[in-house]
Amino acid sequence: MASQAELDDPLYNLRLAITTSHPPILATDPDPTSAAQTVTDLSVATHISFNIETHHKTFPLVASTRFAPDDAPVSLRSIYFAWQNKDSSHPEYIAAVQHLNEELPSGAGGSVQSLSFALRIELIAWLNGETESSESIAALDGAAASAAAEASAAIASGKGGVPVLKPSAGGQKMMDARLLQIYDGERKMGDHNSVLRGTKPMDFSSYRKIASTFLRSRPTPSIPTAPSHSHATPLVSNLQKKPARRLEPIILLSPSASSLLRMSNIKSFLDTGVFIPPNTADTTSSNLLHLNRKIPSISNHDIRFILVDSTSNFKPPYWARVVAIFTTGQTWQFKSYKYPNPSELFSHYPGIYVGWQGEEPPEQVEALGRGVLSVKVDKWTGSEKGRWRDREVVETIWARIEEGMRRGGWSRDGPGMAGTVPGR
């Protein structure tokens, strides 16, 4: 059940509305009571209303949210507009932001902040429930709740003095006398860490010997007895660790118009094993796609891959997640990459070139060396029938990607080393 702090938070309400399929309502009034006060144009709306079963909340669109990259809170209007344009390419999104900012001064006023490519991905994944946490979203009541908890613990243990609240408009306010009397009558207790740790070292070696007689079928490793002066290792710190965020591998496509595989046909090719020319495939305006693939040598669960054709919004840590680079051999593709030199680039990442069956690879592809895998697909005859060789080509590509991921120490949660993914 959601806490009151969550129910009063605009960002939580927006996520709840999205994940429960209850679209919010834009309004020109903080308490919309008629259809005339509801609008669909974000440039004239001043408030956003959430009606989720018995829960009803309305927030001003200029309200700041917990989404604060670089400690700069982003407005609710900017967050909602980013979600509305979740399926737009980044250039289309930037153009839409500029257009809305031109309309706002004559409508609701204010402005919309343009989010970077990486921040949009992070925000949208959190809003639709794909991820449970975000580095750019502050925790609810984080610092205030921690400070209050520490103050209460100090009072309960007798270490705190007379609690005084911060000055208000009427001057300083002292804590209620009855509450102080309750604290004085409480029994002083330690926290969970001190209770588990104890006050003297414990030697459990005798219990291990007894247990070993009941577990003879299992190997009994020699466990050195802890010195008498050492303390038992606290276990609570390990239990309190939050699970690390799962890192998704990235496949880079060539942005060249001569490439046989582009954003319009790459997903169907790698997923179904059938090649369709990019100019005849269902076109897509998105510059980011997701693809699930099970790789048993790495994980028993599906691994979600990210497919992109641009690195303009890459952060340095993203390069450790790149597992394949599709190329046509044109060196201008690598100018914005971590390693602009092709020989150095493909010594760190697997390269893949896809050409036509019966045609030799271009000289610039052969010049890239052994770091680039060259495969060929049958020429398009106008129909998907008889393209059984495509599946063999796709499996060859996945085998190359899998080999690089194994060498890079990949698991279900990400790469094993914060380095590169070898291509050889």
**Residue 312 pLDDT class (50, 70, 90 cuts):** confident
The answer to which of 189-193, 225-229, 277-281 has the lowest mean pLDDT is 225-229
Between 10-19 and 76-84, two packed helices, what is the crossing angle to 10 degrees? 20
Amino acid at 282: D
**Where in the sequence of the chain do the CATH 3.40.50.11990 domains occur?**
250-407
Q: Strand 322-326 and strand 250-252: pairing? A: parallel
Q: Which CATH number fits domain 250-407: 3.30.420.140, 3.40.50.300, 3.10.180.10, 3.40.50.11990?
A: 3.40.50.11990
Please compute the mean of the pLDDT values over residues 300-309 and round it to a whole number: 91
DSSP state, residue 108: T
pLDDT at 411 over 90: no
Q: Report pLDDT for 146.
A: 46
Q: 39-43: list long-range contacts, CB under 8 Å, 24+ apart.
A: 41/107, 42/77, 42/80, 42/81, 42/84, 42/100, 42/108, 43/100, 43/103, 43/104, 43/107, 43/108
Tokens read off for 183: 């604290």
Torsions phi, psi for 283 (to 5 deg): -70, 150
Q: Report pLDDT for 200.
A: 63
**Residue 155 pLDDT class (50, 70, 90 cuts):** very low
Per the prediction, the chain carries an average pLDDT of 79
Q: Report pLDDT for 235.
A: 47
DSSP state, residue 206: H
For residue range 136-154, what is the model confidence (pLDDT) as tens digits? 888 876 444 444 445 445 5
Could you tell me the maximum CA-CA distance found in the chain, to the nearest angstrom? 91
The answer to which of 17-21, 105-109, 287-291 has the lowest mean pLDDT is 105-109
